[in-house]
Chain A
Amino acid sequence: MSDNCKFKCYIWELPVRWCHWINMICIVTLSVTGFLIGTPFSFGSSTSSFTMGWIRFIHFSAAYLFTVSVISRLIWSFIGNKYSGWREFFPLMTDAGRKKTIRMLRYYMLLDKDVPETVGHNPLATAAYVCLFGIYSLMILTGFALYAQHAPQGPMHKALGFMYVLFSDQGMRLTHHISMWFIFGFVINHIYSAWLMDIKEHGSEISSMFSGYKFTVRKEK
Protein backbone atom coordinates (compact mmCIF):
# COMPACT_ATOMS: atom_id res chain seq x y z
CA MET A 1 0.00 0.00 0.00
CA SER A 2 2.62 2.44 1.22
CA ASP A 3 3.26 5.49 -0.99
CA ASN A 4 0.02 5.59 -2.88
CA CYS A 5 -2.35 5.29 0.10
CA LYS A 6 -4.97 7.97 -0.14
CA PHE A 7 -8.00 6.59 1.59
CA LYS A 8 -8.77 5.36 5.03
CA CYS A 9 -11.09 2.44 5.10
CA TYR A 10 -13.25 1.21 8.02
CA ILE A 11 -12.44 -2.50 8.29
CA TRP A 12 -12.89 -3.74 11.85
CA GLU A 13 -16.25 -2.79 13.30
CA LEU A 14 -16.67 -2.12 16.99
CA PRO A 15 -17.97 -5.62 17.98
CA VAL A 16 -15.03 -7.25 16.18
CA ARG A 17 -12.52 -5.11 18.08
CA TRP A 18 -14.30 -5.59 21.40
CA CYS A 19 -14.40 -9.37 20.93
CA HIS A 20 -10.73 -9.39 19.99
CA TRP A 21 -9.56 -7.55 23.08
CA ILE A 22 -11.97 -9.28 25.44
CA ASN A 23 -10.67 -12.60 24.12
CA MET A 24 -7.11 -11.45 24.72
CA ILE A 25 -7.76 -10.33 28.29
CA CYS A 26 -9.70 -13.54 29.00
CA ILE A 27 -6.96 -15.76 27.57
CA VAL A 28 -4.30 -14.06 29.70
CA THR A 29 -6.52 -14.26 32.81
CA LEU A 30 -7.58 -17.85 32.14
CA SER A 31 -3.99 -18.96 31.48
CA VAL A 32 -2.59 -17.41 34.66
CA THR A 33 -5.42 -18.67 36.89
CA GLY A 34 -5.54 -22.00 35.03
CA PHE A 35 -1.84 -22.56 35.68
CA LEU A 36 -2.38 -21.86 39.38
CA ILE A 37 -5.32 -24.26 39.49
CA GLY A 38 -3.36 -26.99 37.69
CA THR A 39 -0.12 -26.55 39.66
CA PRO A 40 -0.84 -24.52 42.77
CA PHE A 41 1.76 -23.72 45.37
CA SER A 42 0.84 -23.40 49.03
CA PHE A 43 -0.32 -19.80 48.83
CA GLY A 44 -2.81 -20.12 51.69
CA SER A 45 -1.53 -18.74 54.98
CA SER A 46 -4.27 -20.20 57.17
CA THR A 47 -7.28 -22.47 56.91
CA SER A 48 -9.47 -19.37 56.82
CA SER A 49 -7.87 -18.13 53.59
CA PHE A 50 -9.83 -18.53 50.39
CA THR A 51 -7.00 -18.03 47.93
CA MET A 52 -7.70 -21.06 45.71
CA GLY A 53 -11.40 -20.25 45.99
CA TRP A 54 -10.86 -16.76 44.57
CA ILE A 55 -8.50 -17.99 41.85
CA ARG A 56 -11.14 -20.47 40.74
CA PHE A 57 -13.84 -17.79 40.93
CA ILE A 58 -11.80 -15.53 38.62
CA HIS A 59 -11.16 -18.48 36.28
CA PHE A 60 -14.86 -19.36 36.02
CA SER A 61 -15.97 -15.73 35.64
CA ALA A 62 -13.42 -15.17 32.87
CA ALA A 63 -14.58 -18.44 31.28
CA TYR A 64 -18.16 -17.17 31.11
CA LEU A 65 -17.01 -13.84 29.64
CA PHE A 66 -14.81 -15.63 27.11
CA THR A 67 -17.68 -17.91 26.06
CA VAL A 68 -20.02 -14.96 25.56
CA SER A 69 -17.32 -13.17 23.55
CA VAL A 70 -16.62 -16.19 21.31
CA ILE A 71 -20.32 -16.79 20.67
CA SER A 72 -20.86 -13.07 19.94
CA ARG A 73 -18.05 -13.11 17.39
CA LEU A 74 -19.56 -16.17 15.70
CA ILE A 75 -22.95 -14.43 15.49
CA TRP A 76 -21.29 -11.24 14.19
CA SER A 77 -19.77 -13.23 11.33
CA PHE A 78 -23.32 -13.48 9.97
CA ILE A 79 -24.38 -9.86 10.48
CA GLY A 80 -21.17 -7.81 10.26
CA ASN A 81 -19.44 -6.36 7.18
CA LYS A 82 -17.71 -8.48 4.54
CA TYR A 83 -14.35 -8.35 6.34
CA SER A 84 -15.81 -9.98 9.44
CA GLY A 85 -18.14 -12.37 7.59
CA TRP A 86 -17.82 -16.14 7.85
CA ARG A 87 -16.86 -16.45 4.15
CA GLU A 88 -13.52 -14.78 4.94
CA PHE A 89 -12.66 -17.76 7.14
CA PHE A 90 -12.81 -20.30 4.35
CA PRO A 91 -10.49 -18.77 1.70
CA LEU A 92 -9.96 -22.12 -0.01
CA MET A 93 -13.62 -22.24 -1.05
CA THR A 94 -13.23 -19.57 -3.75
CA ASP A 95 -10.90 -19.20 -6.71
CA ALA A 96 -9.71 -15.74 -5.70
CA GLY A 97 -9.16 -16.95 -2.15
CA ARG A 98 -7.04 -19.89 -3.31
CA LYS A 99 -4.85 -17.60 -5.48
CA LYS A 100 -4.41 -15.20 -2.59
CA THR A 101 -3.52 -18.05 -0.23
CA ILE A 102 -0.83 -19.30 -2.62
CA ARG A 103 0.66 -15.79 -3.00
CA MET A 104 0.65 -15.42 0.77
CA LEU A 105 2.26 -18.81 1.31
CA ARG A 106 4.97 -18.06 -1.25
CA TYR A 107 5.71 -14.77 0.47
CA TYR A 108 5.88 -16.38 3.91
CA MET A 109 8.17 -19.10 2.64
CA LEU A 110 10.53 -16.41 1.35
CA LEU A 111 10.00 -17.46 -2.29
CA ASP A 112 8.39 -14.20 -3.50
CA LYS A 113 9.35 -10.64 -2.79
CA ASP A 114 5.97 -9.14 -3.70
CA VAL A 115 4.24 -8.13 -0.49
CA PRO A 116 0.71 -9.52 -0.86
CA GLU A 117 -1.90 -6.87 -0.29
CA THR A 118 -4.71 -7.60 2.08
CA VAL A 119 -7.28 -5.13 3.25
CA GLY A 120 -9.32 -7.42 5.46
CA HIS A 121 -8.09 -10.75 6.76
CA ASN A 122 -5.01 -12.45 5.47
CA PRO A 123 -6.20 -15.85 4.11
CA LEU A 124 -3.54 -17.78 6.07
CA ALA A 125 -4.63 -15.99 9.22
CA THR A 126 -8.29 -16.86 8.73
CA ALA A 127 -7.37 -20.51 8.16
CA ALA A 128 -5.50 -20.38 11.47
CA TYR A 129 -8.49 -18.70 13.13
CA VAL A 130 -10.74 -21.58 12.09
CA CYS A 131 -8.38 -23.96 13.93
CA LEU A 132 -8.23 -21.50 16.82
CA PHE A 133 -12.01 -21.39 17.12
CA GLY A 134 -11.95 -25.19 17.11
CA ILE A 135 -9.55 -25.07 20.07
CA TYR A 136 -11.74 -22.44 21.73
CA SER A 137 -14.78 -24.73 21.41
CA LEU A 138 -12.78 -27.62 22.86
CA MET A 139 -11.62 -25.41 25.73
CA ILE A 140 -15.13 -24.15 26.45
CA LEU A 141 -16.66 -27.63 26.28
CA THR A 142 -14.03 -29.41 28.37
CA GLY A 143 -13.88 -26.51 30.82
CA PHE A 144 -17.59 -26.33 31.42
CA ALA A 145 -17.92 -30.13 31.48
CA LEU A 146 -15.36 -30.24 34.32
CA TYR A 147 -16.99 -27.25 36.00
CA ALA A 148 -20.49 -28.80 35.77
CA GLN A 149 -19.43 -31.73 37.93
CA HIS A 150 -19.84 -29.61 41.05
CA ALA A 151 -23.61 -29.98 40.48
CA PRO A 152 -24.16 -33.48 39.08
CA GLN A 153 -27.48 -34.07 37.33
CA GLY A 154 -27.92 -30.29 37.05
CA PRO A 155 -28.87 -28.64 33.75
CA MET A 156 -25.29 -27.94 32.66
CA HIS A 157 -24.11 -31.43 33.62
CA LYS A 158 -26.96 -32.97 31.63
CA ALA A 159 -26.51 -30.68 28.62
CA LEU A 160 -22.82 -31.60 28.44
CA GLY A 161 -23.54 -35.31 28.95
CA PHE A 162 -22.01 -36.16 25.57
CA MET A 163 -18.63 -34.86 26.78
CA TYR A 164 -18.46 -37.53 29.50
CA VAL A 165 -19.04 -40.16 26.83
CA LEU A 166 -16.31 -38.78 24.57
CA PHE A 167 -13.72 -38.14 27.28
CA SER A 168 -12.60 -39.71 30.53
CA ASP A 169 -12.49 -37.22 33.36
CA GLN A 170 -8.71 -37.03 33.46
CA GLY A 171 -8.61 -37.04 29.66
CA MET A 172 -10.71 -33.89 29.76
CA ARG A 173 -8.25 -32.26 32.16
CA LEU A 174 -5.31 -33.19 29.94
CA THR A 175 -7.09 -31.87 26.82
CA HIS A 176 -7.99 -28.63 28.59
CA HIS A 177 -4.40 -28.21 29.74
CA ILE A 178 -2.61 -29.05 26.51
CA SER A 179 -5.00 -26.92 24.43
CA MET A 180 -3.75 -23.94 26.41
CA TRP A 181 -0.27 -24.62 25.06
CA PHE A 182 -1.65 -24.78 21.51
CA ILE A 183 -3.21 -21.35 22.08
CA PHE A 184 0.19 -20.06 23.29
CA GLY A 185 1.73 -21.40 20.08
CA PHE A 186 -0.93 -19.53 18.12
CA VAL A 187 -0.36 -16.32 20.09
CA ILE A 188 3.35 -16.29 19.19
CA ASN A 189 2.47 -16.77 15.52
CA HIS A 190 -0.29 -14.16 15.71
CA ILE A 191 1.78 -11.38 17.32
CA TYR A 192 4.75 -12.06 15.05
CA SER A 193 2.62 -12.01 11.88
CA ALA A 194 0.82 -8.83 12.91
CA TRP A 195 4.16 -7.18 13.60
CA LEU A 196 5.64 -8.44 10.31
CA MET A 197 2.72 -7.32 8.16
CA ASP A 198 2.60 -3.96 9.95
CA ILE A 199 6.21 -3.42 8.87
CA LYS A 200 5.84 -4.83 5.38
CA GLU A 201 2.43 -3.55 4.27
CA HIS A 202 2.52 -0.09 5.89
CA GLY A 203 -1.24 -0.38 6.18
CA SER A 204 -1.30 0.14 9.97
CA GLU A 205 -2.08 -3.51 10.64
CA ILE A 206 -1.61 -3.27 14.41
CA SER A 207 -3.29 0.08 15.07
CA SER A 208 -6.28 -0.99 12.95
CA MET A 209 -7.19 -3.37 15.77
CA PHE A 210 -7.62 -0.32 18.00
CA SER A 211 -9.06 2.21 15.54
CA GLY A 212 -10.75 -0.08 13.03
CA TYR A 213 -9.18 1.82 10.06
CA LYS A 214 -6.64 0.72 7.51
CA PHE A 215 -5.08 2.84 4.76
CA THR A 216 -5.69 1.89 1.16
CA VAL A 217 -4.84 2.95 -2.36
CA ARG A 218 -8.38 2.70 -3.65
CA LYS A 219 -11.62 3.74 -2.14
CA GLU A 220 -13.76 1.06 -0.54
CA LYS A 221 -16.14 -0.44 -3.04
Chain B
Amino acid sequence: MGKKSDFGELETVEHDLLKHDCSIGQILKERGVSRRDFLKFCSAMTAAMALPASFAPRVAQALDEVRRPTLVWLEMQSCTGDTEALLRSANPTVAEIVLDILSVDYHETIMAAAGHQAEGALDKTIADFNGKYICVIEGSISMKDGGIYGTTGGKTHLERARQVCGGALATIAVGTCASYGGIAAAVPNPTGAVGVRDAVPGATVINLPGCPVNADNLTATIVHYLVFGKIPALDSHGRPLFAYGKRIHDNCERRPHFDAGQYVEHWGDDGHRKGFCLYKMGCKGPATFHNCPTQRYNEKTSWPIAAGHPCAGCSEPQFWDTMSPMYKRLPNVPGFGIEHTADKIGLGLVAGAGAAFAVHGVLNALRKDKEPAEENKEG
Protein backbone atom coordinates (compact mmCIF):
# COMPACT_ATOMS: atom_id res chain seq x y z
CA MET B 1 0.00 0.00 0.00
CA GLY B 2 2.82 2.31 0.90
CA LYS B 3 4.27 1.87 -2.56
CA LYS B 4 1.35 3.55 -4.31
CA SER B 5 1.98 6.92 -5.89
CA ASP B 6 0.48 10.03 -4.31
CA PHE B 7 -1.84 10.33 -7.25
CA GLY B 8 -3.02 6.78 -6.68
CA GLU B 9 -3.76 7.41 -3.02
CA LEU B 10 -5.75 10.54 -3.74
CA GLU B 11 -7.77 8.64 -6.28
CA THR B 12 -8.46 5.95 -3.72
CA VAL B 13 -9.59 8.50 -1.16
CA GLU B 14 -12.10 9.91 -3.62
CA HIS B 15 -13.19 6.45 -4.49
CA ASP B 16 -13.76 5.62 -0.83
CA LEU B 17 -15.63 8.83 -0.14
CA LEU B 18 -18.15 7.79 -2.73
CA LYS B 19 -18.44 4.37 -1.17
CA HIS B 20 -19.53 5.15 2.38
CA ASP B 21 -21.74 2.11 2.34
CA CYS B 22 -18.93 -0.40 1.83
CA SER B 23 -18.15 -2.65 4.76
CA ILE B 24 -14.63 -2.63 6.12
CA GLY B 25 -14.14 -6.23 5.05
CA GLN B 26 -14.97 -5.40 1.43
CA ILE B 27 -12.66 -2.42 1.37
CA LEU B 28 -9.77 -4.35 2.83
CA LYS B 29 -10.27 -7.09 0.27
CA GLU B 30 -10.37 -4.57 -2.55
CA ARG B 31 -7.21 -3.01 -1.21
CA GLY B 32 -5.35 -6.30 -1.14
CA VAL B 33 -4.83 -6.44 2.62
CA SER B 34 -4.23 -10.07 3.46
CA ARG B 35 -6.62 -11.92 5.70
CA ARG B 36 -3.68 -12.74 7.93
CA ASP B 37 -2.82 -9.04 8.48
CA PHE B 38 -6.46 -8.28 9.14
CA LEU B 39 -6.71 -11.00 11.78
CA LYS B 40 -3.48 -9.81 13.37
CA PHE B 41 -4.99 -6.36 13.63
CA CYS B 42 -8.16 -7.83 15.16
CA SER B 43 -6.12 -9.71 17.77
CA ALA B 44 -4.18 -6.56 18.66
CA MET B 45 -7.44 -4.62 19.07
CA THR B 46 -8.97 -7.37 21.20
CA ALA B 47 -5.97 -7.18 23.48
CA ALA B 48 -6.13 -3.38 23.61
CA MET B 49 -9.79 -3.57 24.65
CA ALA B 50 -8.72 -5.89 27.48
CA LEU B 51 -10.95 -8.64 26.11
CA PRO B 52 -10.01 -12.33 26.18
CA ALA B 53 -8.39 -13.69 23.02
CA SER B 54 -11.54 -15.69 22.28
CA PHE B 55 -13.18 -12.41 21.28
CA ALA B 56 -10.82 -11.92 18.33
CA PRO B 57 -13.02 -13.87 15.87
CA ARG B 58 -16.02 -11.82 16.97
CA VAL B 59 -14.08 -8.62 16.38
CA ALA B 60 -13.06 -9.90 12.95
CA GLN B 61 -16.60 -10.87 12.07
CA ALA B 62 -18.00 -7.54 13.20
CA LEU B 63 -15.38 -5.58 11.28
CA ASP B 64 -16.05 -7.72 8.21
CA GLU B 65 -19.68 -6.77 8.17
CA VAL B 66 -19.89 -3.33 9.73
CA ARG B 67 -20.20 -0.09 7.77
CA ARG B 68 -17.34 2.33 8.18
CA PRO B 69 -18.11 5.20 10.49
CA THR B 70 -17.61 8.71 9.21
CA LEU B 71 -15.20 10.67 11.29
CA VAL B 72 -14.35 14.35 11.56
CA TRP B 73 -11.28 15.51 13.45
CA LEU B 74 -11.21 19.04 14.85
CA GLU B 75 -8.15 20.88 16.11
CA MET B 76 -8.68 23.26 19.02
CA GLN B 77 -6.00 24.77 21.29
CA SER B 78 -3.43 22.04 20.82
CA CYS B 79 0.13 21.25 19.81
CA THR B 80 -1.09 18.64 17.27
CA GLY B 81 0.77 16.07 19.33
CA ASP B 82 -2.14 13.65 19.19
CA THR B 83 -2.26 13.82 15.39
CA GLU B 84 1.48 13.27 15.45
CA ALA B 85 1.03 10.24 17.69
CA LEU B 86 -1.55 8.87 15.29
CA LEU B 87 0.52 9.52 12.16
CA ARG B 88 3.60 7.99 13.74
CA SER B 89 1.81 4.98 15.14
CA ALA B 90 3.01 1.85 13.39
CA ASN B 91 0.12 -0.46 14.14
CA PRO B 92 -2.40 0.48 12.87
CA THR B 93 -0.45 2.34 10.21
CA VAL B 94 -1.75 5.70 9.17
CA ALA B 95 -2.82 4.22 5.84
CA GLU B 96 -4.82 1.52 7.57
CA ILE B 97 -6.52 3.80 10.02
CA VAL B 98 -7.26 6.66 7.67
CA LEU B 99 -8.16 4.77 4.54
CA ASP B 100 -9.28 1.35 5.62
CA ILE B 101 -10.85 1.49 9.03
CA LEU B 102 -12.14 5.02 9.27
CA SER B 103 -13.53 7.41 6.78
CA VAL B 104 -11.93 10.62 7.89
CA ASP B 105 -13.94 13.26 6.08
CA TYR B 106 -12.36 16.23 7.74
CA HIS B 107 -9.02 16.53 9.48
CA GLU B 108 -7.50 19.97 9.56
CA THR B 109 -3.91 18.76 9.70
CA ILE B 110 -3.89 16.03 7.08
CA MET B 111 -6.70 16.88 4.66
CA ALA B 112 -5.85 18.01 1.16
CA ALA B 113 -8.66 20.54 0.93
CA ALA B 114 -8.29 24.10 2.24
CA GLY B 115 -10.34 27.24 2.84
CA HIS B 116 -14.02 27.35 1.87
CA GLN B 117 -13.75 24.00 0.17
CA ALA B 118 -12.70 22.35 3.45
CA GLU B 119 -15.36 24.13 5.49
CA GLY B 120 -17.91 23.10 2.89
CA ALA B 121 -16.85 19.47 3.25
CA LEU B 122 -17.34 19.71 7.02
CA ASP B 123 -20.78 21.27 6.68
CA LYS B 124 -21.78 18.63 4.15
CA THR B 125 -20.57 15.79 6.38
CA ILE B 126 -22.38 16.96 9.48
CA ALA B 127 -25.55 17.59 7.47
CA ASP B 128 -25.48 14.30 5.51
CA PHE B 129 -24.50 12.08 8.42
CA ASN B 130 -26.32 13.91 11.20
CA GLY B 131 -26.35 11.72 14.32
CA LYS B 132 -24.18 9.09 12.62
CA TYR B 133 -20.65 10.48 12.48
CA ILE B 134 -17.99 10.32 15.14
CA CYS B 135 -16.31 13.56 16.14
CA VAL B 136 -12.73 13.53 17.39
CA ILE B 137 -11.52 16.65 19.14
CA GLU B 138 -7.90 17.46 19.83
CA GLY B 139 -7.00 20.38 22.09
CA SER B 140 -8.77 22.42 24.74
CA ILE B 141 -11.58 24.89 24.13
CA SER B 142 -11.20 28.50 25.20
CA MET B 143 -14.23 29.83 27.08
CA LYS B 144 -13.02 33.24 28.24
CA ASP B 145 -14.27 36.40 26.54
CA GLY B 146 -16.67 34.44 24.35
CA GLY B 147 -13.97 32.02 23.29
CA ILE B 148 -12.16 34.51 21.04
CA TYR B 149 -8.74 33.06 21.87
CA GLY B 150 -9.18 30.19 19.47
CA THR B 151 -10.87 30.41 16.07
CA THR B 152 -10.88 28.32 12.91
CA GLY B 153 -12.57 29.40 9.70
CA GLY B 154 -13.86 32.55 11.40
CA LYS B 155 -15.73 30.64 14.10
CA THR B 156 -14.66 30.26 17.68
CA HIS B 157 -13.68 26.78 18.82
CA LEU B 158 -16.61 26.83 21.21
CA GLU B 159 -19.11 27.47 18.39
CA ARG B 160 -17.54 24.76 16.25
CA ALA B 161 -17.52 22.26 19.10
CA ARG B 162 -21.19 22.93 19.86
CA GLN B 163 -22.13 22.64 16.20
CA VAL B 164 -20.15 19.49 15.43
CA CYS B 165 -20.48 17.63 18.76
CA GLY B 166 -24.19 18.38 18.88
CA GLY B 167 -24.91 16.28 15.78
CA ALA B 168 -22.34 13.59 16.47
CA LEU B 169 -23.06 10.04 17.47
CA ALA B 170 -20.28 10.39 20.00
CA THR B 171 -17.37 12.69 20.58
CA ILE B 172 -13.94 11.32 21.38
CA ALA B 173 -11.73 13.81 23.19
CA VAL B 174 -8.18 12.75 22.36
CA GLY B 175 -5.33 13.88 24.55
CA THR B 176 -5.33 15.55 27.93
CA CYS B 177 -6.17 19.02 26.55
CA ALA B 178 -9.40 17.91 24.91
CA SER B 179 -10.24 15.78 27.94
CA TYR B 180 -9.63 18.25 30.78
CA GLY B 181 -8.10 21.39 29.31
CA GLY B 182 -4.55 20.10 29.78
CA ILE B 183 -1.61 22.47 29.78
CA ALA B 184 -3.66 25.37 28.43
CA ALA B 185 -5.92 25.05 31.50
CA ALA B 186 -3.01 25.11 33.96
CA VAL B 187 -2.99 27.96 36.45
CA PRO B 188 -3.52 30.84 35.64
CA ASN B 189 -5.40 29.54 32.56
CA PRO B 190 -5.38 32.84 30.61
CA THR B 191 -7.79 31.65 27.90
CA GLY B 192 -10.27 29.95 30.23
CA ALA B 193 -9.47 26.62 28.58
CA VAL B 194 -11.67 23.60 29.39
CA GLY B 195 -12.13 20.11 28.07
CA VAL B 196 -14.87 19.12 25.63
CA ARG B 197 -17.11 17.71 28.38
CA ASP B 198 -17.21 21.09 30.13
CA ALA B 199 -17.55 23.09 26.93
CA VAL B 200 -20.40 21.03 25.46
CA PRO B 201 -22.14 19.51 28.49
CA GLY B 202 -24.90 17.83 26.47
CA ALA B 203 -22.62 15.82 24.18
CA THR B 204 -21.69 12.16 24.62
CA VAL B 205 -17.97 12.46 25.25
CA ILE B 206 -15.40 9.71 25.63
CA ASN B 207 -12.17 11.02 27.12
CA LEU B 208 -8.90 9.52 25.98
CA PRO B 209 -6.40 11.59 27.96
CA GLY B 210 -2.66 11.18 27.78
CA CYS B 211 0.02 13.42 26.40
CA PRO B 212 -0.19 12.34 23.65
CA VAL B 213 -3.10 9.94 23.34
CA ASN B 214 -2.09 6.37 22.67
CA ALA B 215 -3.27 5.80 19.08
CA ASP B 216 -3.99 2.15 19.85
CA ASN B 217 -6.50 3.23 22.50
CA LEU B 218 -8.20 5.54 20.01
CA THR B 219 -8.49 2.77 17.43
CA ALA B 220 -9.66 0.30 20.07
CA THR B 221 -12.36 2.72 21.22
CA ILE B 222 -13.69 3.02 17.67
CA VAL B 223 -13.42 -0.72 17.10
CA HIS B 224 -15.30 -1.28 20.36
CA TYR B 225 -18.11 0.83 19.01
CA LEU B 226 -18.11 -1.03 15.71
CA VAL B 227 -18.11 -4.44 17.38
CA PHE B 228 -20.57 -3.89 20.19
CA GLY B 229 -22.61 -1.03 18.80
CA LYS B 230 -22.15 1.06 21.93
CA ILE B 231 -19.49 3.15 23.57
CA PRO B 232 -17.21 1.33 26.06
CA ALA B 233 -17.79 1.42 29.82
CA LEU B 234 -16.37 4.64 31.24
CA ASP B 235 -14.96 5.63 34.62
CA SER B 236 -15.95 8.76 36.57
CA HIS B 237 -13.63 10.90 34.42
CA GLY B 238 -15.27 9.62 31.21
CA ARG B 239 -12.33 7.35 30.29
CA PRO B 240 -12.83 3.83 28.87
CA LEU B 241 -12.18 1.29 31.60
CA PHE B 242 -10.34 -1.02 29.22
CA ALA B 243 -7.57 1.52 28.87
CA TYR B 244 -7.81 3.51 32.13
CA GLY B 245 -9.13 0.89 34.53
CA LYS B 246 -5.86 0.20 36.33
CA ARG B 247 -3.15 2.32 37.86
CA ILE B 248 0.23 2.47 36.14
CA HIS B 249 1.79 1.52 39.49
CA ASP B 250 -0.19 -1.74 39.64
CA ASN B 251 0.89 -2.92 36.18
CA CYS B 252 4.37 -1.42 36.19
CA GLU B 253 7.28 -3.55 35.08
CA ARG B 254 9.37 -1.97 37.85
CA ARG B 255 6.81 -2.83 40.55
CA PRO B 256 8.89 -5.71 42.01
CA HIS B 257 11.62 -3.16 42.79
CA PHE B 258 9.03 -1.01 44.60
CA ASP B 259 7.83 -3.91 46.74
CA ALA B 260 11.39 -5.04 47.38
CA GLY B 261 12.52 -1.56 48.41
CA GLN B 262 14.99 -0.86 45.63
CA TYR B 263 14.84 2.73 44.48
CA VAL B 264 16.62 5.15 42.18
CA GLU B 265 18.10 7.67 44.63
CA HIS B 266 19.81 10.01 42.12
CA TRP B 267 19.75 10.35 38.36
CA GLY B 268 22.28 8.06 36.79
CA ASP B 269 23.13 6.18 39.98
CA ASP B 270 23.62 2.44 40.15
CA GLY B 271 19.90 1.83 40.81
CA HIS B 272 18.93 3.98 37.83
CA ARG B 273 21.22 1.98 35.58
CA LYS B 274 19.77 -1.26 36.91
CA GLY B 275 16.21 -0.12 36.28
CA PHE B 276 15.06 0.22 39.91
CA CYS B 277 11.77 1.84 40.94
CA LEU B 278 11.45 5.58 40.22
CA TYR B 279 9.12 6.23 43.21
CA LYS B 280 11.60 8.53 44.97
CA MET B 281 12.23 10.49 41.78
CA GLY B 282 8.63 11.69 41.91
CA CYS B 283 6.96 9.00 39.82
CA LYS B 284 3.20 9.61 39.65
CA GLY B 285 2.45 6.03 38.61
CA PRO B 286 0.65 5.42 41.93
CA ALA B 287 -1.73 8.29 41.14
CA THR B 288 -2.28 7.68 37.43
CA PHE B 289 -4.74 5.45 35.61
CA HIS B 290 -3.54 4.44 32.14
CA ASN B 291 -2.52 1.30 30.26
CA CYS B 292 0.95 2.58 29.30
CA PRO B 293 2.78 -0.37 30.93
CA THR B 294 0.93 -2.90 28.78
CA GLN B 295 0.05 -0.92 25.64
CA ARG B 296 3.20 1.22 25.46
CA TYR B 297 3.84 3.72 22.66
CA ASN B 298 5.15 3.55 19.09
CA GLU B 299 4.54 -0.03 18.10
CA LYS B 300 4.81 -1.07 21.75
CA THR B 301 8.43 0.04 21.70
CA SER B 302 8.67 1.90 24.98
CA TRP B 303 7.03 4.25 27.45
CA PRO B 304 8.40 6.78 29.96
CA ILE B 305 9.12 4.46 32.91
CA ALA B 306 10.72 1.85 30.65
CA ALA B 307 12.96 4.64 29.38
CA GLY B 308 13.99 5.55 32.95
CA HIS B 309 11.81 8.61 33.49
CA PRO B 310 9.15 8.81 36.22
CA CYS B 311 5.51 8.98 35.18
CA ALA B 312 4.28 12.59 34.98
CA GLY B 313 0.64 11.65 35.52
CA CYS B 314 -0.40 13.14 32.17
CA SER B 315 -3.69 11.25 31.89
CA GLU B 316 -5.14 12.65 35.13
CA PRO B 317 -7.29 15.81 35.34
CA GLN B 318 -5.31 19.03 35.88
CA PHE B 319 -2.07 17.04 36.01
CA TRP B 320 0.00 20.11 35.25
CA ASP B 321 -1.12 21.68 38.54
CA THR B 322 -1.85 18.71 40.79
CA MET B 323 1.06 16.45 39.83
CA SER B 324 3.77 19.09 40.18
CA PRO B 325 6.57 19.21 41.22
CA MET B 326 7.33 16.55 38.66
CA TYR B 327 10.35 15.10 40.48
CA LYS B 328 8.97 15.15 44.05
CA ARG B 329 6.68 12.66 45.78
CA LEU B 330 4.41 15.25 47.40
CA PRO B 331 3.02 18.57 46.18
CA ASN B 332 4.18 21.78 47.85
CA VAL B 333 1.94 23.16 50.56
CA PRO B 334 -0.20 25.96 49.12
CA GLY B 335 0.44 29.37 50.62
CA PHE B 336 4.05 28.65 51.52
CA GLY B 337 7.26 29.21 49.57
CA ILE B 338 8.36 26.75 46.94
CA GLU B 339 10.96 25.10 49.18
CA HIS B 340 8.51 24.44 52.02
CA THR B 341 7.62 20.77 51.95
CA ALA B 342 4.97 19.24 54.18
CA ASP B 343 7.72 17.75 56.37
CA LYS B 344 9.47 21.07 56.96
CA ILE B 345 6.20 22.74 57.94
CA GLY B 346 5.24 19.77 60.11
CA LEU B 347 8.60 19.80 61.89
CA GLY B 348 8.23 23.53 62.51
CA LEU B 349 4.74 22.96 63.93
CA VAL B 350 5.91 20.20 66.26
CA ALA B 351 8.98 22.15 67.36
CA GLY B 352 6.81 25.20 68.04
CA ALA B 353 4.32 23.18 70.09
CA GLY B 354 7.14 21.51 72.01
CA ALA B 355 8.79 24.83 72.82
CA ALA B 356 5.52 26.48 73.87
CA PHE B 357 4.66 23.65 76.25
CA ALA B 358 8.20 23.53 77.64
CA VAL B 359 7.93 27.23 78.55
CA HIS B 360 4.46 26.65 79.98
CA GLY B 361 5.79 23.76 82.05
CA VAL B 362 8.64 25.85 83.49
CA LEU B 363 6.28 28.72 84.37
CA ASN B 364 3.91 26.24 86.04
CA ALA B 365 6.71 24.64 88.01
CA LEU B 366 7.72 28.05 89.37
CA ARG B 367 4.33 29.10 90.72
CA LYS B 368 2.33 28.13 93.80
CA ASP B 369 -1.13 26.70 93.19
CA LYS B 370 -4.15 27.02 95.49
CA GLU B 371 -6.71 24.41 96.44
CA PRO B 372 -9.89 25.05 94.46
CA ALA B 373 -12.76 26.75 96.20
CA GLU B 374 -15.34 24.42 97.69
CA GLU B 375 -18.04 25.34 95.17
CA ASN B 376 -15.72 24.52 92.27
CA LYS B 377 -14.95 21.04 93.47
CA GLU B 378 -16.42 18.31 91.36
CA GLY B 379 -15.46 14.99 92.84
Contact = CB atoms under 8 A, between A and B. Distances in A.
12 contacts: A44-B261, A47-B260, A52-B258, A52-B259, A53-B260, A117-B372, A169-B316, A170-B322, A177-B330, A178-B345, A181-B350, A196-B364
Interface string B271-287: 10000100110001011
Interface string A171-184: 10110011011101
Contacts of A161: 236
Interface of B: 235-236, 241, 245-247, 250, 256-263, 265, 271, 276, 279-280, 284, 286-289, 313, 316-318, 322-323, 329-331, 333, 342-343, 345-347, 349-350, 353-354, 357, 360-361, 363-364, 367-373, 376-379
A108 B246 CA distance: 53
Interface size class of A (residues with CB under 8 A): 35 or more
A93 interface: no
Given A47-B260, A161-B236, A182 B349 contact: yes
Interface in A84-117: 103, 108, 110, 113-117
A137 interface: no
B379 A1 contact: yes
B245 A153 contact: yes
A7 B235 CA distance: 63
A168 B318 contact: yes
B364 A43 contact: no
A181 B349 contact: yes
Contacts of B373: 114
B350 A184 contact: yes
Contact of B357 (A46, A103, A184, A189): A189
B329 A110 contact: no
A108 B356 CA distance: 12
Nearest to B357: A192
B322 A169 contact: yes
Contacts of B353: 185, 188-189
A99 to B, nearest CB: 9
Contact of A181 (B330, B342, B364): B342
Given A117-B376, A153-B245, A169-B288, 10 more contacts: A1-B379, A49-B261, A113-B368, A152-B245, A170-B284, A177-B342, A178-B346, A181-B342, A182-B349, A203-B379
Contacts of B322: 168-171
B262 A192 contact: no
- With a 10 A CB-CB cut-off, give which of B258, B261, B347, B372 has the most chain A CB atoms: B261
A7 B241 CA distance: 66
B281 to A, nearest CB: 12
A107 B375 CA distance: 17
A103 B375 CA distance: 13
Contacts of A39: 280, 329, 343
Contacts of B235: 152-153
A2 B346 contact: no
Interface stretch (A19-27, A62-70, A126-134, A212-220): A212-220
A3 B371 CA distance: 10
A218 to B, nearest CB: 6
A185 B367 contact: no
Contact of B370 (A110, A113, A181): A113
B327 to A, nearest CB: 13
A210 interface: no
Contacts of A215: 379
B260 A50 contact: yes
Contact of A110 (B261, B363, B376): B363
Contact of A185 (B284, B350, B368): B350
B330 A173 contact: yes
A174 B260 contact: no
B287 A169 contact: yes
A44 B378 contact: no
Contact of B256 (A47, A108, A164): A47
